Amino acid sequence: MKTLIERWNGQKWSIVPSPNDPDFGGQLADVSCSSATFCFAVGNFQGYTIETLTVRWNGSSWKIVPSPSRRPSPQFETAGVNYLNSVSCVSPTSCMAVGSDTGYLYDFRETLTEHWNGTKWQIVRSPSPAKYSRFDAVSCATASKCFAVGGATPKKNPNAIGLRTLIARWNGQSWTRVTSTDPSAPQSELLGVSCPSATTCVAVGDSRAGNVDNPLVKRLTGGQWTIEASPKPADANAASLHGVTCTSATACVAVGESAAYSAPRTFAARYG
């Protein structure tokens, strides 16, 4: 598998040459730009194990930048299974990337967060409240105000009964888990987040009861995360939201998929 990057010039999309690991290629999951001449895209490449991959845009070309992969334990010489799922950059000296790493024997999954300080990527300790925890998305309003979201379950199967939402806050020095209420459905997870300011964020995902998925939206206001009503297509028996972007506290667009007892279809919702 090879990386793919496309650029919008105001009129059309065009493919831009993108770097790959010389032996194993790579795949990219997310991108964030703080200016027209500074972007980071993150993902992973699969060699003997799966390791993190970060590439930087300088305004004219993309280049691989070394990023760490966590070692599962001292007795293993190779890294575990490392994924970077999302990145958020507020400046050329401050980016946060999040994902997960799984033990060499797949006996655990922990959250993985890495911080770019303008010179290098460094792993930052982050909360993993259950045996199988992961971050799927991150958004930073400032260098000292980020939120990461995902899911956590005590069971190995990430879709097992007991999957609950996971939210953590970055204060510029450390991550802290933030508690919030989940729907009554036995499974809930957050897959996207957008913070247009230091005091407002919107996170999206889904909650599942049986085989039925419903879109899930949580909003941060006044320092508290609360569940908000979210629409589902009238003819759909299942729907979920995978990503969201907000330009202000009252203007957001979320996207995902829905299904009416058939193949999935695109699904978008607008707030404001």
The residue among 143, 111, 116, 99 whose CA lies nearest residue 40 is 116
- What is residue 191's predicted lDDT score, i.e. its pLDDT? 97
Of the candidate ranges 9-13, 74-78, 90-94, 114-118, the one whose mean pLDDT is the lowest: 74-78
Mean pLDDT, the chain, integer: 90
Whether 27 shows a pLDDT value over 60: the answer reads yes
- Going by pLDDT thresholds of 50, 70 and 90, the confidence category of residue 267 is confident
- pLDDT single digits (tens) 229-259: 988 888 888 899 999 999 999 999 999 999 8
- What is residue 210's predicted lDDT score, i.e. its pLDDT? 77
pTM: 0.92
- What is residue 106's predicted lDDT score, i.e. its pLDDT? 64
HEC assignment per residue over the chain = CCCCEEEECCCCEEEECCCCECCCECEEEEEEEEECCEEEEEEEEECCCEEEEEEEECCCCEEEECCCCCCCCCCCCCCCEEEEEEEEEEECCEEEEEEEEECCCCCCEEEEEEEECCCCEEEECCCCCCCEEEEEEEEEEECCEEEEEEEEECCCCCCCCCCEEEEEEECCCCEEEECCCCCCCCEEEEEEEEEEECCEEEEEEEEEECCEEEEEEEEEECCEEEEECCCCCCCCCEEEEEEEEEEECCEEEEEEEEECCCCCEEEEEEEC
Whether 130 shows a pLDDT value over 60: the answer reads yes
- What is residue 173's predicted lDDT score, i.e. its pLDDT? 96
Whether 76 shows a pLDDT value over 60: the answer reads no
Whether 79 shows a pLDDT value over 60: the answer reads no
The residue among 199, 197, 196, 207 whose CA lies nearest residue 245 is 196
What distance in Å separates the CA atoms of residue 137 and residue 190, rounded to the nearest whole number?
8
- What is residue 199's predicted lDDT score, i.e. its pLDDT? 93
pLDDT > 70: percent of the chain: 92
Residue 7 structure tokens: 């650029």
- What is residue 1's predicted lDDT score, i.e. its pLDDT? 84
- Going by pLDDT thresholds of 50, 70 and 90, the confidence category of residue 122 is very high
Count of C-beta atoms within a 10 Å radius of residue 46: 15
Q: Which amino acid is at 79?
A: A
- Going by pLDDT thresholds of 50, 70 and 90, the confidence category of residue 50 is confident
- Going by pLDDT thresholds of 50, 70 and 90, the confidence category of residue 138 is very high
The residue among 77, 76, 81 whose CA lies nearest residue 102 is 81
